[in-house]
Amino acid sequence: MPRPLEPHDLLARRLTRFTRMLHAVEEGDTNGVHRARVASRRLREVLPVLPLDADLVDRLGRRLRKITKRLGRVRELDVLIGIVSEVRGSGRHSDIVLERVGAAIEADRRRTRKRHIAKSQMRELRRVGAKLEKVVRTLERRRAPGRRAAGAGKSETSNHRRSHRWAIEARVGRRASTLERSMAHAGTVYLPDRLHAVRIAVKKLRYALELDHELAGAQQGPQLRLLRRTQNVLGRLHDLQVLIDRIRHEQASLIPPDINVWRELDGLVTSIEDQCRRLHGRYVREVAALMALCSELSGRVQDVRHQTTARS
């Protein structure tokens, strides 16, 4: 079984994943962009549960949020290019139409990369990384005196770990409650905007639950596998819906109008919509399990309150 981690270990581990990807981001590597974006999101999740000044957490959180959004814009276009390539490989649609859609997305991707992965943006990513490294060192220094204190070392360490465990469990509970409400609001009808909210809630719960597992030194179990599987399904559905919107835009911008191209584009949309419906069906089949998981995890908020009151 992996050893339980200290809170600063959680930050250090996520920061390492982030900084390792910066060179790949600068080189324009699509996988590097994706990994850096995920790492920035995980950093945002861990900061609020650390013993840090609230203003510092807020400032770093805002900077990381901007990084996540910038990398997200690049990542979205990378994914769309990949989907167009997949569709072309199937041989079911006109190469001319797919070339038109792909060229429009590629032009947008070049502009977006130039804007969001410029030298100035990379300097900001590295500055944030350096700031977070200082935070890690500060947290390590704070823990060192407590570990060396005679007699009180074990008790202090136990209280320290317990307080952070409660903070993370409370966060997991709140994330679970948010996901439960999002799924109830989405229902079982295919409504892209509401499903997008569910996807975001799933992602946030997954990252919070990862913290809980890592701090306890536990292996990732069926709960995280369910969340990861659902996130992948809803993520793919969202990407396809974005592609549909891009294709509709191409239809509307046909100058001069070409009925044959318009029909080919419409057929492409219909095919992608079929995929969306199948993915939505997969999500609906997971709803009962997700609701049960949320009910279990959201109860932690009340449990934490009871534990805190009992020890006050």
Task: Check whether residue 165 and residue 217 sit in a common domain.
Answer: yes
Banded pLDDT at 6 (limits 50, 70, 90): confident
Task: Check whether residue 127 and residue 196 sit in a common domain.
Answer: no
Nearest CA to 38 out of 3, 75, 81, 5 is that of 75
Instruction: Give the end of a domain, one of 116, 150, 184.
Output: 150
Specify the number of domains making up the chain.
Answer: 2
Task: Give 34-61 pLDDT, tens digit per residue.
Answer: 999 999 999 999 999 898 999 999 999 9
Task: Give 123-170 pLDDT, tens digit per residue.
Answer: 999 999 999 999 999 988 876 555 544 444 555 555 666 777 888 888
Nearest CA to 88 out of 76, 79, 78, 101 is that of 101
How many C-alpha atoms does 80 have within 13 Å on its Cβ side?
25
Nearest CA to 90 out of 231, 238, 275 is that of 275
Residue 214: per-residue pLDDT: 87
Instruction: Give the end of a domain, one of 150, 177, 200.
Output: 150
Tell me the DSSP string of 132-201: HHHHHHHHHHHHHHHHHSTTTHHHHHHHHHHHHHHHHHHHHHHHHHHHHHHHHHHTTS--HHHHHHHHHH
Task: Check whether residue 12 and residue 91 sit in a common domain.
Answer: yes
Instruction: Give the end of a domain, one of 99, 125, 150.
Output: 150
pTM of the model: 0.87
Going by C-beta distance under 8 Å and a sequence separation of 6 or more, which residues neighbour residue 177?
A: 294, 298, 301
Give the pLDDT mean for 163-188.
92
Task: Check whether residue 195 and residue 294 sit in a common domain.
Answer: yes
Are the beta carbons of 243 and 80 closer than 8 angstroms?
Answer: yes
Task: Give 286-312 pLDDT, tens digit per residue.
Answer: 999 999 999 999 876 665 555 544 444
Task: Check whether residue 146 and residue 167 sit in a common domain.
Answer: no
Task: Check whether residue 11 and residue 81 sit in a common domain.
Answer: yes
Distance CA 54, CA 201 (A): 24
Task: Check whether residue 243 and residue 124 sit in a common domain.
Answer: no
Task: Check whether residue 115 and residue 171 sit in a common domain.
Answer: no
Task: Check whether residue 254 and residue 304 sit in a common domain.
Answer: yes
Task: Check whether residue 139 and residue 54 sit in a common domain.
Answer: yes
Tokens representing residue 187 in the block = 């229902």
Give the pLDDT mean for 253-282.
91
Q: Which residue range(s) make up the domain with 206?
A: 158-312
Task: Check whether residue 73 and residue 197 sit in a common domain.
Answer: no
Task: Check whether residue 282 and residue 299 sit in a common domain.
Answer: yes
